[in-house]
Structure formats: C-alpha cells, structure tokens
Structure 1
Amino acid sequence: MSRQLTASVLLGHYLSAFTALGAPLFLPRILADLGSAAPTWSIGVLYVLPTLCTALAAPLWGRLADRHGCRLSLLRAHAGLAAGFLLAGFSPNLGVFTLALIVQGTFGGAMAASNAYLATQLAGESLSRALNLTQYSARLALLSGPVLVGLLASAGLGLEMYRYLAWLPLVAFLLVLPLPADAPRIPAQTADVQTSRDELPPDLLRLLAVQFLFSFAMVVTFPYFVPYGEALGIANDALIGLLYSLPHLVYLLALPWVQRRSGPLLPAGLALFALSNLLQFLRVPAELLFALRLLAGLGMLLCFVGLHRYLAALRRQGGAGRLFGWYDASGKWAGSAAGLVAGLACQHYGVAMPFLIACLAAFAALAVAHPLLTRSPETAP
C-alpha cells in the first residue's frame, strides 16, 4: 500500500508542478493577449507573485494541516492551483489575471502539502527517500513543463492554455482523493503537554537557515544564465538551454545511486556547489562549462539528499504540517530574494556576479550547518 500511496502522491505532485512551472515562462505572451500595456518590469513582479503568496501562506496552511489533516491540505493545494488556473484562463483583463496568480500561490503549495502528507504515512529512511522523489518530480517538471507548454504556445494558444493546464491539478486531486486520511493532532488536555507539542524542533531554525541560503544560492544564477552563456561566446540557444538544464539532469539520473550512500552528504554538497559557482564566476573557457555544470548538479543533489535526511529526523519531533510549511516557505522566500539580488548584481557588476554571490551563500550555508553536522542523521543506514 505504501508504494501505491507514494506513487499517487508523487504523480499528483508532478502534475501540479508541471502546471505551475510550465506556464510562467510565457507571461510576456499572456500579457499581450490581455491587451495590457503593462511596463516591462511588471513581468518580473507577476512571475514571482505566486511564489511570494506561497511563502506567506505556507506556515498557516501547515498549522491547519496539523489540526485538520495533511491529506485534506494536499487536496486543498491541488484544488487551489486548478481554481487559480481556471480563473487565469478566463481573465478578461490584467486585474483578474493578477488575482488568479494570487489564488494560485495562496491556495496552492503542492510541494509542502505532498511532503507533509507523506510524512504522516512514512518514517525514517522511507520518508527521506520519498522526499528525494518529490524533489525528483519537481526537477522533472522543471525540465518538461516549459518544453511541452512551449509546444502549446507555438500552436497558437495564449491565455486559453491556462484552461487546459487546469485539468492537470484536477487529475492530481482525483489521485489523492481515495488515499487514506491521516489522523489530525488531537489537542492536549493539559497546558504543559500542549506547550510541549507546539514547540518546534530545536534544530528547525538552523535547518531553515541552511535551506534558505542553499535555495538562494541555487536560484540566484537562474535568471541571467542566457546572457552569461552569450558572454562566454556560446551563440547556440539550444546549447545554452542544455547547459542550464544539466544540474537538473544530474539529479534525475544520479538520485538512485546517491540516496543509497551514507555519510555527511550535506557538507560535501555545499562545498562542491560553492566550488562550481566560484569557477563559473571566474569565466572559465566555454569548453569547461559543461563539466562545471555537472559538478554543480552533483553538489545540488548531495545537498538535497542531505537536507531530506535531516527533515526526516526532525519529523519525529514535530507536526508534519508546520515543519514542511515553514521549510517550503523558507525556500520560496529565498527564491524571491534571489531574483531581486540577481537583477541588481547583473545591472551593476555584470552577468557573472550571481555566481560569486551563489558561492558565498553556499559557504555561509556550510558555516550555519556546522552544528548540525556534529549530530548528523546522515550517518544512519
């Protein structure tokens, strides 16, 4: 049953992630279909708006999930994304479309909801592996979503593509509907027990800081990778796209091997990720960029697997909804901040500067994580 349950949750997460990650790339065309004379900067604001809303709402949804059940929260996430996309698909103007993006972000959040529900059904190494797989489905959606949605766009679909994409989270909703409900946390009868249950795990804030810094380091190099590749003399857009995607491909291909490894994967991953970004900042010859992107992918993979092992260990100490709500929110805040910092850095210091910032952020994450390493759950088989 656990395999069938995990497969249903992961497939549902992929469908929602595919929907959420595929459409934003074509925002300029969507705005044109709306006949909007919105300024260029508004594209960036609208791009991060759902992420900001998710960051704000995730802790609240996590608390409600602990009280009323994580499966119910997961159903809400899929239904909320579908509702937001339906509203976007029928938007008559920019105001309604903006409201649709707010609905997507505020009532969506399938990643945190999927992880929280899995944490109520699995434990230990099984949970750690499941968390690796939700990240796997996110990477797969990140690669396949823009490509397949791009085919819809090339076929002439604009705003109406949101109506078709809304069916995917609805299918995800139906996949989760027959799964067993988890038992909500029963309020304690005494104040002392209630206080004990409501306390966050002692290492959570430190882990959230590591997650924030790592997510920031990962995202800050995304927005301006195309002009960075062009500055290295790479004129082929397809090749730049391949180089951009290589770290995600490493995750997809190497995860089965890496998650069987024991030892301190998180510090090794942060060190490799920092090194790869430092070398990319130094603008090595374009011929070596392929190897550096593979190195970045390996570092990213080790970081994710290490972080998920810590999460699985903390799950035994606190409510799943709040834990994964705060964890997801920290990543969303990091992504939003990274987009802003990348724009300012490139404007003032050039397109290579985000890689130096990513290197420094990864080293900062390594320093913050150091106390965790002395009591690492990563050595567990």
Structure 2
Amino acid sequence: MQRRLIASVLLGHYLSAFTALGIPLYLPRILADLAPDAPLWSIGVLFVLPTLCTALAAPLWGRLADRHGCRLSLLRAHLGLCAGFLLAGFSPNLALFVLALVIQGTFGGAMAASNAYLATQLDKDGLARALNWTQYSARLAMISGPILLGLLTAQGLGLELYRWLAPLPLLAFALVLPLPADRPRRPARAAGSATTNIRLPGDLQRLLAVQFLFSFAMVVTFPYFVPYGEGLGIANDALLGLLYSLPHGVYLLALPWAQRRAANPLGVGLALLALGNALQFAIVQPEPLLALRLLSGAGMLLAFVGLHRCLSQRSRQGGAGRLFGWYDASGKWAGTVAGVSAGLLSQGYGIASPFLVACVAACAALLLARPLVACPRELPA
C-alpha cells in the first residue's frame, strides 16, 4: 500500500513538473506569436513570474495545509497548474497570458505539496528517500520536458502547447484523489499556555539559508551556460545541450547509490559543488568541461541527499505543510534572485562570472550547514 501511495505521488509530481518545467524554454517563440512587439526583457520577466508567485504563496499554502490537510493541498496544486495552463492556452492577448502565469505560480507548487503529503504518510527514513525521488522526478522532467516539447514546437506549435499540456496535471489530480487523507492538526492552545501544538524546528532559519544558497549556486549558472560554452569554443548545439544537462543526468543515474550512504553527505556535496564551479570559472579551454560538469553533478546529488536527510529529521506530522512550504519558498526565491543576478553578473563582469559567485555561495552554504549535520534534530510529536 505504501509503495502504491509513493508511486502515485511521484508519478503525479512528474506529470506536473513536466508541464511546468518543460515549456519555459520555448517562451521566446510563444511570446513572438502572442505579442510580437513585446520588448526583449519581457521574456526574462515572464520566465521568473510563476516562480516568484510560488515563492510568495508557498508559506500560506503550507499553513492552510496544516489546518485542512496536506492531501487537499496537493490536489489544489495539481488543479491550480491545470487551470493556469488552460487559461494560457486560450489567451487572446498578453495581459490574459500574464494572468495565467500568475495563477500557475500562485495556485501550483506541486513539489512542496507532494513532499508535505509524503511527510504525513512516511517515517523519517522513508521520507528522506521519498524526498530524493521527488527531486529525481523534477530532474527527469527538466531533461525530458524540453526534448519532447521540442518535437512539438518543430511541428509549428506555440501557444497551443499550453492546451496540450493542461491534461497532465489533471491526470496527476486523478492519481492523488483516491489516496488516504491525512489528519490535519489544528493549532489548539494548551490550557494556560500561549503555545500551540504545531512547532517548527528551532534551526529552521539555518536550514532555509543553506537551501537558499545551494539553490542559488545551482541556478545562477544556468541562464548563460550556452554563451559560456560558446566562449570556450564549443560550437555544437547538441554538445552544449548535453553538457548543460549532465549534472541532472548524474542525479538520475547515481541516486540509488548516493542515498545508501550512512553518513550525511551534505558537506561533501557542497564542497564538490564549490570546487566544480571554481574550476569552471577558471578554465579557458573546453577539454576539462565534461569532467567538471560531472563533478558539479556529483556535488549537486550529494548536497540534495544531505539536505533531504536534514529535512526529514526535522519534519513532524502536523507541521509538514508549513515546513515544506517555507523550504520550497526559499528555493524559489533563490531561483528568482539567481536569474536576475546571472544577467547582471554576465553583463558587468563577463560570461564566466556566475560560476565564481556560485562557488562563493556554495562555500557559504558549507559553513552554515555544519551544525545541521552535526546536530540532527527531530521534534517530538
């Protein structure tokens, strides 16, 4: 029964992640069809708009999930994504399309909702493994989405892609609907006490800071990777695409090995990520890039596994919605800041500069993470 529950949640998450992560790459083409006169900078704004809305809304949805149930919140996330994509697919103008992206980001958030629901159904060790697999489904969607949707855009599809993708989160909704509902824990006050029976970990701010810095270190190198590779002399688009996706491929292939490690690999992962980014900033020839992308992928994988272990040690039924809501919001804010920073850094300090900043962010995360690994914490129920 538990395997079936996990499989349903993970498949549903993959369908929604495929929907949300596959299409942003083709925003320039969609915007050219919908609003040909839109300025070039509007592509970047539309790219981060759903992420920004998710970052703003995730803590609120997390609080509501604790009050009314995490499964209900997960159903809301799938339906919200479906509604946003339907509206986008039938948008006659840019204003309505922007509203659709706001709905997609505000009422979506399947990652946090999936993780929070799993936290109400699994024990600590089972949850740590499940968190690794939800990230696995996100990485798989990040690789498969652009490839498969590229086949559709090659047939001339543009805005219609949103209509084609809208049924996928609806299917995810159908997968989650028969799963057992969790019991929401309402914050009833104890007699003579001002405290509630839902408490978040005392070191939550440190955990969120590590998550922010780690996410920033990953994302800040994404937007300008293609011109970075071209600057090293790589002219083959297929090779650039392979090198770009290689860290995600490492995650997909090596996760079963990494999550069997007894010790928490968070520190090792952040150190490898910092080293990989520093070397990518320093190289002037393309030959070492393949090995350095593999090194960065190993760092990303081990850091994710370690973070998920820290998160599962601090999760508790009744506060899962808020915990995962804040955790997801931290990553989304990092992605938003990283996207803006990448443009400013590349314009002002060169196309390789985001790798140096990513190294600094990973080093800062490493310093902050040491107490998290040394003193795992699990609040009593």
Same fold at TM > 0.5: yes
Residue 186 of structure 1 deviates from its aligned partner by: 3.1
1:216 equivalent to 2:219? Answer: no
Q: Please tell me whether the aligned partners of residues 264 and 309 of structure 2 are also in contact (alpha carbons under 8 angstroms).
A: no
Query: How many residues are treated as equivalent by the alignment?
Result: 378
Residue 194 of structure 1 deviates from its aligned partner by: 6.3
- Cα separation, 2, equivalents of 1:61 and 1:94: 28
Unaligned runs of 5+ in 2: none
Q: Please tell me whether the aligned partners of residues 250 and 298 of structure 2 are also in contact (alpha carbons under 8 angstroms).
A: yes
State how 1:364-379 maps to structure 2 within 5 Å: 364-376=364-376
TM score, norm. by length of structure 2:
0.97
State how 1:305-320 maps to structure 2 within 5 Å: 305-316=305-316, 319-320=319-320
1:240 equivalent to 2:240? Answer: yes
4+ residue runs over 3 A deviation: 191-194
Residue 317 of structure 1 deviates from its aligned partner by: 7.8
Residue 373 of structure 1 deviates from its aligned partner by: 2.7
- Cα separation, 2, equivalents of 1:186 and 1:68: 8
Q: Please tell me whether the aligned partners of residues 264 and 376 of structure 1 are also in contact (alpha carbons under 8 angstroms).
A: no
Q: 1:341 aligns to what?
A: 341
State how 1:1-381 maps to structure 2 within 5 Å: 1-190=1-190, 195-316=195-316, 319-376=319-376
Residue 316 of structure 1 deviates from its aligned partner by: 2.9
- Cα separation, 2, equivalents of 1:243 and 1:352: 15
- Cα separation, 2, equivalents of 1:377 and 1:304: 18
- Cα separation, 2, equivalents of 1:65 and 1:316: 13
**Which deviations, in whole Å up to 9, do the C-alpha atoms of 1:199-249 show, x marking residues without a partner?**
321011100000000000000000000000001000101001100011000
**Which deviations, in whole Å up to 9, do the C-alpha atoms of 1:58-86 show, x marking residues without a partner?**
00000000000000000000000000000
**CA gap 1:375/1:95 in 2 versus in 1, 3 angstroms:** same
- Cα separation, 2, equivalents of 1:245 and 1:257: 20
**Which deviations, in whole Å up to 9, do the C-alpha atoms of 1:237-294 show, x marking residues without a partner?**
1001100011000000000001001113000000000000000000253111100000
- Cα separation, 2, equivalents of 1:367 and 1:19: 36
Residue 14 of structure 1 deviates from its aligned partner by: 0.2
- Cα separation, 2, equivalents of 1:193 and 1:71: 30
**CA gap 1:269/1:332 in 2 versus in 1, 3 angstroms:** same
SS at structure 2 position matched to 1:316: coil
Amino acid at match of 2:224: Y
Residue 198 of structure 1 deviates from its aligned partner by: 3.8
Amino acid at match of 1:239: L
Residue 377 of structure 1 deviates from its aligned partner by: 7.0
Residue 195 of structure 1 deviates from its aligned partner by: 1.6
Segment of structure 1 superposing worse, 31-40 or 202-211: 31-40
Residue 346 of structure 1 deviates from its aligned partner by: 0.3
SS at structure 2 position matched to 1:202: coil
- Cα separation, 2, equivalents of 1:375 and 1:102: 39
Residue 193 of structure 1 deviates from its aligned partner by: 6.0
- Cα separation, 2, equivalents of 1:227 and 1:197: 52
**CA gap 1:188/1:194 in 2 versus in 1, 3 angstroms:** farther
Residue 30 of structure 1 deviates from its aligned partner by: 1.0
Residue 189 of structure 1 deviates from its aligned partner by: 4.5
Q: Please tell me whether the aligned partners of residues 9 and 176 of structure 2 are also in contact (alpha carbons under 8 angstroms).
A: yes
Amino acid at match of 2:98: T
SS at structure 1 position matched to 2:85: helix
Q: Please tell me whether the aligned partners of residues 277 and 358 of structure 1 are also in contact (alpha carbons under 8 angstroms).
A: yes
Residue 376 of structure 1 deviates from its aligned partner by: 4.0
**CA gap 1:283/1:199 in 2 versus in 1, 3 angstroms:** same
Q: Please tell me whether the aligned partners of residues 188 and 194 of structure 1 are also in contact (alpha carbons under 8 angstroms).
A: no
**CA gap 1:194/1:45 in 2 versus in 1, 3 angstroms:** same
- Cα separation, 2, equivalents of 1:194 and 1:93: 51
Residue 123 of structure 1 deviates from its aligned partner by: 1.4
Residue 188 of structure 1 deviates from its aligned partner by: 1.8
Q: Please tell me whether the aligned partners of residues 184 and 318 of structure 2 are also in contact (alpha carbons under 8 angstroms).
A: no
- Cα separation, 2, equivalents of 1:347 and 1:228: 12
SS at structure 1 position matched to 2:287: helix
- Cα separation, 2, equivalents of 1:40 and 1:201: 43
- Cα separation, 1, equivalents of 2:98 and 2:194: 40
Q: Please tell me whether the aligned partners of residues 78 and 170 of structure 1 are also in contact (alpha carbons under 8 angstroms).
A: yes
Residue 318 of structure 1 deviates from its aligned partner by: 6.2
- Cα separation, 2, equivalents of 1:31 and 1:76: 28
Amino acid at match of 1:100: A
Residue 191 of structure 1 deviates from its aligned partner by: 5.6
- Cα separation, 1, equivalents of 2:226 and 2:377: 38
SS at structure 1 position matched to 2:130: helix
**CA gap 1:187/1:199 in 2 versus in 1, 3 angstroms:** closer
Amino acid at match of 2:217: A
